[in-house]
Amino acid sequence: MLGRVNHVAIAVPDLTAATAAYRDMLGATVSAPQALPQHGVTVVFVELPNTKIELLEPLGAGSPIAAFLGKNPSGGMHHICYEVTDILAARDHLVQRGARVLGNGEPKIGAHGKPVLFLHPKDFFGTLVELEQV
C-alpha cells in the first residue's frame, strides 16, 4: 500500500530563518513560500535527490502548527508523508484495521495539489502520518 516517502515535515517558528538556513548553510534548493489557508500553514519545500523536507509555519492563531509550536517553541519534526496510489482505498483499508483518520475522514487538497489525509499519531507510535495520492 505505501509508496515512497514524499516528505518529512518540520514545524518552524520562523519560516524565513529556516528557509535561509537550508538554502544558505546547507546549499539546498528551496521553493517559494506557499500559503495554504485550508490547512492553516505556510509551507516551503526543500528539494533533495530522494525526497523533500517541508518547512511549516503557522498561518493564523488557530493553526495546528501554532499549537505544536506552543509545546515545542524551537520547532521540530511534525509528520512524515507517504505516497499511496489510491487514497480512498488506503483510508478504507486502514480504518478497517483500526486506524483513525483525522478530521472528517475525507481527503483535502494538499500543497502539491493532490488529495491528502492524516492518520492519528497514537495509532502509529507517536508519529503523525500523512498520506498523499500520487
Rounded-to-integer distance, Cα 66 and Cα 72, Å: 10
For residue 79, the model assigns a pLDDT of 98
Alpha carbon separation from 15 to 52, 67, 90, 93, 132 (Å, rounded): 16, 16, 32, 36, 23
Alpha carbon separation from 26 to 21, 47, 126 (Å, rounded): 7, 12, 29
What are the per-10-residue average pLDDT scores of the chain (134 residues)? 96 98 98 94 97 96 93 97 98 98 96 96 97 97
Give me the domains of the chain, ranges plus CATH numbers.
5-133 (3.10.180.10)
Residue of 47, 57, 106, 130 marked catalytic = 130
- What does the pLDDT look like over 9-22, one tens digit per residue? 999 999 999 999 99
For residue 61, the model assigns a pLDDT of 85
Residue 57 known to be catalytic: no
